[in-house]
Structure 1
Amino acid sequence: AFGNCTCAGTTKTFETKVYINEEVMKCDLKIAIGLVVPHHIAGFSGGGKIILPGIASSETIQHNHMMGHKSREKQKEKPEIGMGLYDNNPLRRDIDEAARIVGVDFLVNCLINGQGETVALYTGDIIAAHRGAVQEAKTHYLTPETAEKDIVIANVSSPNNVTSVGLIISFPALSSGGDVVLIANYPEGRVPHYLGGRWGKDTWAVQHRRVMIPEKVNRLIVYNEYPHPGSHWFDDDARIMYCTRWDEVLQLLQEKHGSNARVAVFPNADIQSCL
């Protein structure tokens, strides 16, 4: 992301200069391998995302994401960028154009179940094969909509920095004054998206985005057995609580909601989607 990148061309959609890892561009055969799940801005992961942002320069990634956010701000009444929005998504189109410019020869993409096991496989052209995977993904990950719950429990298996995707399906299911429990049980560790995280007490990366908690949420309870350094993935908010024991979580919920609470449980909130 920070060096050894060469410009392969420029996209038409966002006029993104496609700076790509130079070693990849020197290869005679380029095979892209990835996973297709709902994605909060690209509609679905997989396909050309292995190129952009996968092996693109930081500047290329920033331009693509910045233009995507600007485009989404203009489309609030009829959004084209967002979770499960694929067919007319300009950010996805920009990504696919970048993949064509780079010259990917073959794609291998899979769909998974709740245990992370491959349940479907799509191979071939990077655009056509990915489109086929997306069509199945639209129903494969589909979850019935629910609403007005006192408690929403969202289990996620994503790296720490992207656990917030589990809240996309959770917040709409909650009633006013309800609690969300986000189960994110793993050590924080190092992941590529730390480029969007915190670099010190007052210094943030260029692409850093913090999740805002809707007013209707009473508390966001984050359950993680491992010590957590802080809530910098979320907007500063006194309503966020961190628990390292499950009995702590249950006690908090019992004290607030009693024994007759209306509860929704999303066992795989980071890949479930109400399209």
Structure 2
Amino acid sequence: MMNFKIPCGQQKLDLTLPDEQVVGVLESNIGTMKATGTEDEIVQAAMAKPYGGVKLSALARGKKTCTIICSDHTRPVPSKHIIPFMLKELREGNPNIDITLLIATGFHRLSVEKEMRAKFGDDIVDHEKIVVHDSADADANVKIGVLPSGADCIIDKVAANADLLVSEGFIEPHFFAGFSGGRKSILPGVCDRKTVMGNHCSKFIDSPYARTGILEGNPLHKDMVAAAKMANLAYIVNVVIDEDKKVVAAFAGDPFEAHLSGCKFLSGYCQVKAVPADISITSNGGAPLDQNMYQCVKGMTAAEATTKEGGVIIICAECADGTGGDGFYNALKNCESPQALMDEILKVPQGETQPDQWEYQIQSRILIHHPVIYVSRPEMKQTIEEMKMHYAPNLDEAVKMAKEIRGDDATFTVIPNGISVIVRA
């Protein structure tokens, strides 16, 4: 028998399967990476030798204001090991520079103080100027240009008006932007909802290049790069984290060089070959990334890439924050079928993209081809079933349900962390 630990919330669920039925175990090799120092030392070393050759302290000279774009509560970015060093170097270059931390909430709900204290620590929350971006507050945002797609590029005024704009972040595979990090701190990070929806239109999401680990030819990525350039994003500190969410590599400096180098580095550890199976078991990497169903579509896309047509996808996710979006929930709850919903989505023009449309478009794509079983907390049962999926109270029950669909001799592919891998056909 083969034994596995599948992340779910703050715990790991036990899974045991017969050896002969497991045809693939897809895991990143991040765990094999040997860190060359502490998390702080790794970040400081990257900042000491930035891509592009210009240090943050040099960029700060002569600038009156600086905005540091920071990740929000949905991202496991180890900000405590990044932001203090960015603040320190900025003030070394210019002791009088006026710094604002801008929380990049994108299209998510606003971060609350408790979440910011957990992310940054009390000292930063108590002593630094912090603004939480609100994509729905039109008065707080300003148009700075037009994207290649034709959508207006509208960003937070705190970013647009800064003399120096920099950001932190982390790089991971992303299910339609290719990778997180870099240019994503601008779009969708600090963009107005109109810009986010224009970029996340049905045509772009439907592109075969809008997939995990793909940048070249990806229409969303093209818009995101353009937005970052229009916003004059000058410098980033992006990290790669391991399964324990610890920094194992860092990339600092020019936003485009540093990010691309980080993506290439990560690909070498995350790329895995698909092993088609009747049943695929995955997760969204545990808390905080499995806090809602909206986020968990990401983990499902890894399973989607390695599950046979009609095969079952099992995802383990606590969903402590529920669905993560009313639009996402209602679209799936109220549709006649996933196919009917998809047909409707593909008719929506770019300028009329609806909130959460991209997420239920991808969820629909998955459901058209695969039954999905959620292993989650009991309170989620009704919601999961309303959204055209199946609920299981534990992994054993989920496996039993999946076998009833695909047979007792069904094959399995196990992806312990669905957002840590880039599955290639």
Equivalent residue for 1:263, pick from 389, 412, 415: 412
- What TM-score does the superposition give when structure 1 sets the normalisation length? 0.81
| Deviation at residue 226 of structure 1 after TM alignment | 4.7
Equivalent residue for 2:308, pick from 172, 175, 180: 175
Match of 1:114 in 2: 243
Distance in 2, matches of 1:155 and 1:245, equals 13
Work out whether 1:197 is the aligned partner of 2:328: yes
| Deviation at residue 190 of structure 1 after TM alignment | 8.0
Distance in 2, matches of 1:206 and 1:41, equals 16
Kept in 1: contact 2:317–2:375 (CA 8 A) = yes
Equivalent residue for 1:101, pick from 230, 236, 249: 230
- Report the count of equivalent residues: 260
Q: For the structure 1 residues 123 and 195, does the alpha-carbon distance in structure 2 shift closer, same or farther, using more than 3 Å as the test?
A: farther
Q: For the structure 1 residues 171 and 197, does the alpha-carbon distance in structure 2 shift closer, same or farther, using more than 3 Å as the test?
A: closer
| Deviation at residue 112 of structure 1 after TM alignment | 2.1
Match of 1:6 in 2: 142
Instruction: Name which structure has the greater RCO, CA cutoff 8 Å, separation 6+.
Output: 2
Larger radius of gyration: 2
Q: For the structure 1 residues 55 and 173, does the alpha-carbon distance in structure 2 shift closer, same or farther, using more than 3 Å as the test?
A: same
Instruction: Name the SS for the 1:137 alignment partner.
Output: helix
Work out whether 1:85 is the aligned partner of 2:214: yes
Kept in 1: contact 2:374–2:384 (CA 8 A) = no
Work out whether 1:43 is the aligned partner of 2:178: yes
Work out whether 1:272 is the aligned partner of 2:425: no
Kept in 1: contact 2:306–2:423 (CA 8 A) = no
Match of 1:27 in 2: 162
Kept in 2: contact 1:198–1:205 (CA 8 A) = no
Distance in 1, matches of 2:183 and 2:299, equals 23
Match of 2:320 in 1: 187
More helix by share: 2
How high is the sequence identity, in percent, across the aligned residues?
23
Distance in 2, matches of 1:18 and 1:264, equals 41
Distance in 2, matches of 1:207 and 1:124, equals 33
Runs (5+) with no aligned partner, structure 1: none
| Deviation at residue 39 of structure 1 after TM alignment | 1.6
Kept in 2: contact 1:43–1:83 (CA 8 A) = yes
- Give the CA RMSD over aligned residues: 3.0
Runs (5+) with no aligned partner, structure 2: 1-134, 336-352
After superposition, what is the alpha-carbon deviation per residue over 1:235-254, rounded to whole angstroms, capped at 9, x for unaligned? x53xx211223343244356
Q: For the structure 1 residues 216 and 86, does the alpha-carbon distance in structure 2 shift closer, same or farther, using more than 3 Å as the test?
A: closer
| Deviation at residue 151 of structure 1 after TM alignment | 2.2
Match of 2:203 in 1: 70
Match of 2:19 in 1: none
Q: For the structure 1 residues 205 and 71, does the alpha-carbon distance in structure 2 shift closer, same or farther, using more than 3 Å as the test?
A: closer
| Deviation at residue 72 of structure 1 after TM alignment | 5.8
After superposition, what is the alpha-carbon deviation per residue over 1:53-98, rounded to whole angstroms, capped at 9, x for unaligned? 11110111111222xx32565x5xxx43322211232321211111
Q: For the structure 1 residues 187 and 25, does the alpha-carbon distance in structure 2 shift closer, same or farther, using more than 3 Å as the test?
A: same
